[in-house]
Amino acid sequence: LKPFRAHDRAFLCLRIARFRLWRSEGFSSTASWFGAFTTMGQCPPRQHQQLVETPDTIQQVQFGSEQEAPLEGEQSQPTPRGPEKTLVETFRAALLTDTFWKCFEADPHVVSGTSCQFKDLIQVDALVEALLWSSDSQATVAFKHGEPYHRENVFLAYLDHAALCLNESEHYFPSIMDLCQDLAKTFDFVTARLNVYPPLPIPPSTLDTDVVLVQLWGVQRVIVSPAVGLRVSQPRPEPLLMSTMSPGDAIYVPRGLQIRQQTPDGGASRPTLTLALSLRTREQSLGVSLSMHITDLLRENLPQEVDHFCRSAITKPLLQDSATDDGALEAKLMTAAKEIASRVNMASTQKHYEERMETLRQAQREGAARVAELAAGDLPVPRIVATTRMRVVLGVVCQCQPGSTVAHFRRGSASLALPIGRTASQLIHELSDGEAHVVGSLTCADPIERLCVCQVLLFKECLEIVKD
């Protein structure tokens, strides 16, 4: 038998079995997996939709702000309405429309105003607490200039202008879990990711999954383009879609497209927060699902002769007269491939896929339950929220002028010159009077930066929490 890249014959059996199944079932490519595994059917490809542009005149949405006052001439009294729909119901109705299915797996698609409830879905204090809990499990990852960025904790990473990504965010927020579980009725398994961007330019990224991005904080201008590898001097293709996203707006982006997010003028002093819902990953494709199904078959009760053959190694013959006849090996290989292929059909593949998706959904629910148990206990570090009262530690003298890049702390003969960002100088200056201040009252345009600065100064024993 000729040498092959794999280290055992099971790999050859798997490849041959996959080829036989595809020929017998009539699958021409892995693109038909969606129609095979679900009742929705695959949407045919179509020409890219025309460039979409939402109005540039937008209003900056502030964190925790109340609803806008009625315009002049409108009724200030609320109008009678029926039972209010939940976030899950309004989001599903707004997203999964006929237009969405025409664009599915083909074109980007914008849905404006999916739900006004998204504006207050994630509060700053709850987000920072989730980042604290997830940092121990490495669910929170920091990125800077598109590359992973490592610091001692998430607070220092954010103060260094790194973006924070909270993977599996449905474990930490029940409302996001409800969204994922509801969308899983259509897309089998959906997971979520929260992306926190400091008020700085965001590098472009190419998505490897079908994603729905929901704007939660701030306003962003989103540009979706084909992802093509071109030299710097070569002209870029025209964007497929451009849209200005406000809280509650959503955009569907098929995998393989490049997305650029820009903060419009006037929003550069505040962070932005987006929720990324992964609707379809590579692990859910027909090719991967079929490979996993056949791999599990190799671990089950195959006939003893086939099982022994699949577990044997493929070795390169070193002697001129090999003791094993290539013809006999090929016959055994074909027998093993036929045995495996006879156990694989569309029904068994679909059943295996559904069991695997249910396992993922169950693991998702169990992960949320574990986080809920942890949240009932104490945080690994003292928790600082907007209502926490803090002051400079007694015996420590703080000096920091507004606009400065260094804060000076002195205790007796010991001193500390702490580099800071200019945007944090005003709040440290306010704390330098030695009096107790409510964290939320300190001057800082970025509420996450405000909490991060106070948390880092608490770690360095420059600030202390004042108990009521």
Query: pTM of the predicted model, to two decimals?
Result: 0.75
b vs e for 292-312, b when ≥16 Cβ sit within 10 Å of the residue's Cβ? Answer: ebbeebbeeebeeebbebbee
Give the lowest-confidence range in 63-77, 196-210, 301-315, 347-361: 63-77
Structural contact between residues 36 and 286, judged by C-beta atoms closer than 8 angstroms: yes
Q: Which pair of tokens denotes residue 116?
A: 């006004």
Has residue 299 got a pLDDT over 70?
yes
Q: Which residues of 158-197 are buried (b: 16+ CB within 10 A; e: fewer)?
A: bbebbbbbbbbbbbbbeebbebbbbbbeebbbbbbbbbbb
More confident residue, 288 or 340: 288
Q: Domain map of the chain by residue range?
A: 87-228+238-283, 285-301+335-379, 389-465
pLDDT band, very low/low/confident/very high, at 301 (cuts 50, 70, 90): low
Q: What does the alpha-carbon distance between residue 111 and residue 284 come to, in Å, rounded to a whole number?
A: 25
Please say whether the beta carbons of 118 and 214 come within 8 A. yes
Tens of pLDDT, residues 58-98: 333 333 333 333 333 334 444 445 556 788 999 999 999 99
Tokens of 267: 């929003």
Q: What is the CATH number of domain 389-465?
A: 3.90.930.40
Q: Of 139, 84, 95, 133, nearest to 381 (Cα)?
A: 133
Q: How far is CA 6 from the centre of its chain?
A: 34
Longest distance between any two alpha carbons in the chain, whole Å: 98
pLDDT in tens, 411-457: 988 999 999 989 999 999 999 999 999 999 999 989 999 999 999 99
Helix axes 447-459, 124-136, angle to 10 degrees: 50
Residue 70: its pLDDT value, please?
36
Task: Of 112-116, 277-281, 371-375, give the range with the top mean pLDDT.
Answer: 277-281
Nearest to 186 by CA among 347, 293, 34, 367: 34
Is the pLDDT at 279 greater than 80, yes or no? yes
Q: Is it true that domain 87-228+238-283 has CATH number 1.20.120.160?
A: no
- Residue 343 confidence (pLDDT) above 80: no
Q: What is the mean pLDDT of residues 232-237?
A: 74
- Whether residue 22 is predicted with pLDDT greater than 80 in this model: the reply is no
Q: Using 50, 70 and 90 to split pLDDT, how confident is the model at 146?
A: confident
